[in-house]
Structure 1
Amino acid sequence: MSRVLVLNSGSSSVKYRLFDGTETVAKGLVERIGESGGEVADHRAALQGIMDEIDLTGLAAAGHRVVHGGAEFTGPTVITDEVVARVEALVPLAPLHNPAALTGIEVARKLLPDVPQVAVFDTAFHATIPPEGVTWAISRELAERWQIRRYGFHGTSHAYVSRRTAQVLGRDPAQTNVITLHLGNGASACAVEGGRSVATSMGMSPLPGLVMGTRSGDIDPTVIFHLHRVAGLPLDEIETSLTRHGGLQGMAGVNDLRAVLDLRAAGDPDATLAFDVYCRRIREYVGSYLAVLGRVDAIAFTAGVGENSAAVRAASLSGLEPLGIVIDPERNERRDEVISPPGARIPVCVIPTDEELEIADQSRTALSLDR
């Protein structure tokens, strides 16, 4: 079995996990890189510390999570100087995420010069969405010049969870249609047809789609024009409001769904409305993806909220019973893998995601390595 080190480099953190086959032999997180009182001064020191701490004997590859691969990176890619340059060219599409990944790649290539490095892109899984699912009705010239289209994110999670859902149900993933709901501080929905993404809720950036912890999700674009022209707010301030002060944070004053549920239980009207908006948006996407797929074999909840909030799971699918979508309350509270009753037309599942394992497996695929 081949050993793979998975690295997820953020602007001020590095998350790592070392696999030997499917077994995790080491994992950790270095936070507050370069910050006052932080653990280390920079990413090089962080990665050097990680590599000094864990046994990298026989390391076959290092897999890097890269958020945005644009339209050109449609699968895991062995990193070369040319690939680095192409990822750098995509920074305008992901100015908060790609620079951190590039830093991690640069440092890891220097510290592990003899180890193949692989980039695994959040956007790649959604490369199979047909043109009508990624094209917006704007000037074709503008769209092509500025790479404006739907890209989608959380691809490693949607890929892993859709495949795992089919396995739990004893089905062939290539013959199974699944609606996956990745609900964390960031959240997205995906329609997966036979293992291929055919629709997803996030767009050119991770901002649109479902309501999230601090992101607004879908809004009328006119809101931006109105806030700029009428309210006089600068565009940077509007962007910050929608990405950092929107979502649950904007509606309820807290971004953690657990805190929203506590406030709701205490009768707070803002938290109650925030919960209702959050769940209705999920239900709207489930309904639209039922239409996109035509036949749905399962619905799967995953990530922090999706895996742990029985209340969200129940409320999000409430009212869909005539469509064959039913949740068993006891199974839901226990968080069984299948929370729908036996014989339900469309099974509902709770599937823990494992993005790092998916990155490790995709890295092996890119290098034709055994698991």
Structure 2
Amino acid sequence: MYRILVINPGSTSTKIAIFEDEKEVFSRTLRHSVEELSVYKNIFDQYEFRKSVILGALEENGYPVNGFSAIVGRGGLLRPIPGGTYEVDEVMLEELRHAKQGEHASNLGAILAHELAQLAGVKAYIVDPVVVDEMNNIARISGHPEIQRKSIFHALNQKAVARKAALEIGKTYEDVNLIVVHMGGGISIGAHMKGKVIDVNNALDGDGPFTPERSGTLPLTQLIDLCFSGKYTKEWVLKRIKGNGGLVAYLGTNSAIDVQKKIDDNDKYAELVYRSMAYQIAKWIGKTAVALRGNVDAIVLTGGLAYDSKYMVRWIKEYVSFIAPIIVYPGGDEEKALALGVLRILKGQEKPKIYHEEAERWQKTTCL
């Protein structure tokens, strides 16, 4: 039996979980107040504080840090790399400590895993960070050489449910073609071909369907007119694209549950907007099927919106069921996905990847 500690840092919390092989035996969400975090200048400065909180929770619940086979953290903002499980090394840590690719709470995942693994005398890992990039070069061309399409998406959950769906079909992940749709505050739709995500919308920076709080792809000249109208600042526009777009802009809420209640109460405008979101998701699924040349084994719906079988899932099915069978895995268990990624290493089913080698290889093979 392998015992794995999972660390998933968020902006105001740190989720920890303990797995014994595939089974979760312990989990906690350790919350951090604004006052506690306000004394730290940047994300990296928080690691000693969060480390002590994690150690305290483990001790309180009878889990000595030296009792783990491996420790895994959520991957942060690194250079683009292929998917997989990566052993934490000094090159990775140096980039995360100095936030060379940007500040984000997930940067602490590898750092905390490394610190605790040092105490435990085991290895630390990350699995499928958001910067996973396996796109074909043809998918990177945007239409203008100064702008290149990027792969930033919910790689951890997408890869995890893709593997689960492949098993349900009776095949391995490397033997299937899937369209995976992660539907949460952000929505990413990936074309998974034989174990690689060869095309996906940039779910972070505004590409794709509109979402509960993001505007998605907008008519370009109208957006340019808005930006140069003199009425708004750059910050205002960026916030309207990511944070105050989508359902928030139309209906004043990012809660799909609230919108569903409005529809139940016969709010026709709410129904139109919510159905339009399903319609846009369906159109992007259709576009993604083209990347797979129509050879699609299944469409996988996941994320928080996949719980809505009454409206969202039903409407999407009405539009795209002609493409392939649809499999629904509501929610997204990031902690289990991290644990399973490491378990494959411990069992010898995969070999851990070396970060700087994969990042350099990516640079050489994808430079346009």
TM-score normalised by length of structure 1 = 0.80
- Residue number in structure 1 paired with 2:114: 109
AA aligned opposite 2:341 = Q
AA aligned opposite 2:237 = I
- Residue number in structure 2 paired with 1:166: 166
Provide Cα deviations, 1:251-309, integer angstroms capped at 9, x if missing partner: 11111111111112223243122212210111101111222212111111112211343
Contact 2:74–2:109 (CA<8 Å) still a contact in 1?
Answer: no
Confirm or deny that 1:70 pairs with 2:73: no
Confirm or deny that 1:351 pairs with 2:329: yes
Contact 1:214–1:249 (CA<8 Å) still a contact in 2?
Answer: yes
Q: 2:57 aligns with which of 50, 55, 75?
A: 50
CA change 1:200–1:227 in 2 (3 A) is: same
Unpaired runs of at least 5, structure 1: 326-345
CA change 1:163–1:213 in 2 (3 A) is: same
**Structure 1 vs Structure 2: percent identity of aligned residues?**
22
CA change 1:46–1:207 in 2 (3 A) is: farther
- Residue number in structure 1 paired with 2:138: 132
AA aligned opposite 1:69 = L
AA aligned opposite 1:273 = L
Contact 2:99–2:107 (CA<8 Å) still a contact in 1?
Answer: no
AA aligned opposite 1:226 = D
Q: Please report how far the alpha carbon of residue 206 of structure 1 lies from its aligned counterpart in structure 2 after TM superposition.
A: 5.0
Q: Please report how far the alpha carbon of residue 223 of structure 1 lies from its aligned counterpart in structure 2 after TM superposition.
A: 4.7
Contact 1:16–1:29 (CA<8 Å) still a contact in 2?
Answer: yes
- Residue number in structure 1 paired with 2:270: 271
Q: Please report how far the alpha carbon of residue 154 of structure 1 lies from its aligned counterpart in structure 2 after TM superposition.
A: 0.9
Q: 3-state SS of the aligned residue for 2:17?
A: strand
Confirm or deny that 1:201 pairs with 2:210: no
- Residue number in structure 1 paired with 2:215: 216
- Residue number in structure 2 paired with 1:337: none
- Residue number in structure 2 paired with 1:119: 126
Provide Cα deviations, 1:107-145, integer angstroms capped at 9, x if missing partner: 4433442332212243355x3221111332333xx56xx
Provide Cα deviations, 1:233-267, integer angstroms capped at 9, x if missing partner: 11112112221111111111111111111112223
Q: 3-state SS of the aligned residue for 1:309?
A: coil
Q: 1:290-301 residue pairs with structure 2 within 5 A?
A: 290-293=289-292, 294-301=294-301
Q: Please report how far the alpha carbon of residue 177 of structure 1 lies from its aligned counterpart in structure 2 after TM superposition.
A: 1.5
- Residue number in structure 2 paired with 1:335: none
CA change 1:83–1:181 in 2 (3 A) is: same
AA aligned opposite 2:57 = I
Contact 1:69–1:121 (CA<8 Å) still a contact in 2?
Answer: no
Determine the C-alpha separation between the residues in 2 that align with 1:313 and 1:237: 32
CA RMSD after TM alignment = 2.8
Provide Cα deviations, 1:60-105, integer angstroms capped at 9, x if missing partner: 222111243332465322222221123456654x43x2xx233344
AA aligned opposite 1:32 = H
Q: 3-state SS of the aligned residue for 2:69?
A: strand
AA aligned opposite 2:233 = P
- Equivalenced residue count is 335
- Residue number in structure 2 paired with 1:284: 283
Moved more, 152-161 or 130-139: 130-139
CA change 1:37–1:135 in 2 (3 A) is: closer
CA change 1:106–1:263 in 2 (3 A) is: same
Contact 1:67–1:121 (CA<8 Å) still a contact in 2?
Answer: no
CA change 1:314–1:82 in 2 (3 A) is: same
Q: Please report how far the alpha carbon of residue 312 of structure 1 lies from its aligned counterpart in structure 2 after TM superposition.
A: 0.7
Q: Please report how far the alpha carbon of residue 228 of structure 1 lies from its aligned counterpart in structure 2 after TM superposition.
A: 2.9
Determine the C-alpha separation between the residues in 2 that align with 1:200 and 1:70: 17
Determine the C-alpha separation between the residues in 1 that align with 2:33 and 2:225: 38
Contact 2:83–2:127 (CA<8 Å) still a contact in 1?
Answer: no
Determine the C-alpha separation between the residues in 2 that align with 1:121 and 1:23: 20
TM-score normalised by length of structure 2 = 0.81
Contact 1:77–1:366 (CA<8 Å) still a contact in 2?
Answer: no
Q: 1:1-371 residue pairs with structure 2 within 5 A?
A: 1-35=1-35, 42-54=49-61, 55=63, 56-72=65-81, 74-88=83-97, 91-92=100-101, 94-95=102-103, 97=104, 100-113=105-118, 114-123=121-130, 125=132, 127-139=133-145, 142=146, 148-202=148-202, 205=204, 207-293=206-292, 294-320=294-320, 324=322, 346-352=324-330, 353-365=332-344
Determine the C-alpha separation between the residues in 2 that align with 1:274 and 1:35: 38
Provide Cα deviations, 1:136-185, integer angstroms capped at 9, x if missing partner: 2333xx56xxxx54112111211121221122122343332211111122
Provide Cα deviations, 1:330-353, integer angstroms capped at 9, x if missing partner: xxxxxxxxxxxxxxxx32111244
